[in-house]
Amino acid sequence: MKPEPLGFFEKVYEVARLVPYGRVTSYGAIAKYLGASRSARIVGYAMNSSHNKDVPAHRVVNRNGLLTGKHHFEGTNLMQQLLENEGVKVIDNQIQNFKEVFWDPSKALLDETS
């Protein structure tokens, strides 16, 4: 369980932690930032292991802005509650204004003057 010291997972955790408050990102965005847009599934898999980490997995959703992984949280609406608590409008597991709350790692890290 230790392919590399700083493998894909760690990178995913890093980006997930870099997600600002009230902002969300997508698996594809992280994967793309890591240079593995085709390995978007791995990013989600990393989140699965991020349960024990301090990774805000609730800020990470799919490309459609749908809380696909909310099923993996404690409660059924915990993920939604967390996002709403941060100011993100979530209705029926669907993030409203996803385009506005969307946080692109590559773009944000590239231009931090947001």
Partner DNA sequence: TCAATGACCTGCC
Partner DNA sequence: GGGCAGGCCATTG
Number of residues engaging DNA in binding (CB under 7 A) = 38
Selected from 12, 15, 19, 40, the binder of DNA by CB under 7 A is: 40
Q: Interface residues for DNA in 8-27 (CB under 7 A)?
A: 8-9, 26-27
Distances (CA, A) of 50 to 9, 19, 73, 78, 99: 9, 15, 11, 16, 25
Q: Which is nearer to DNA, 15 or 43 (CB)?
A: 43
The token pair at 66 is 């749908």
Selected from 72, 78, 81, 84, the binder of DNA by CB under 7 A is: 72
Q: Interface residues for DNA in 47-66 (CB under 7 A)?
A: 47-51, 57-58, 60, 62-64
Contact window for DNA (CB under 7 A) among 33-41, 80-88, 93-101, 102-110: 33-41
Residue pair 83/58 in contact (Cβ under 8 Å)? The answer is yes
**Under rule CB under 7 A, residue 45 binds DNA:** yes
3-state secondary structure of 4: coil
Quote the CA–CA distance of 101 and 54 in Å, as a whole number: 21
Which residues does residue 95 pair with via DSSP β-bridges, in sequence order? 90
The minimum distance between CB 110 and DNA, in angstroms, equals: 18
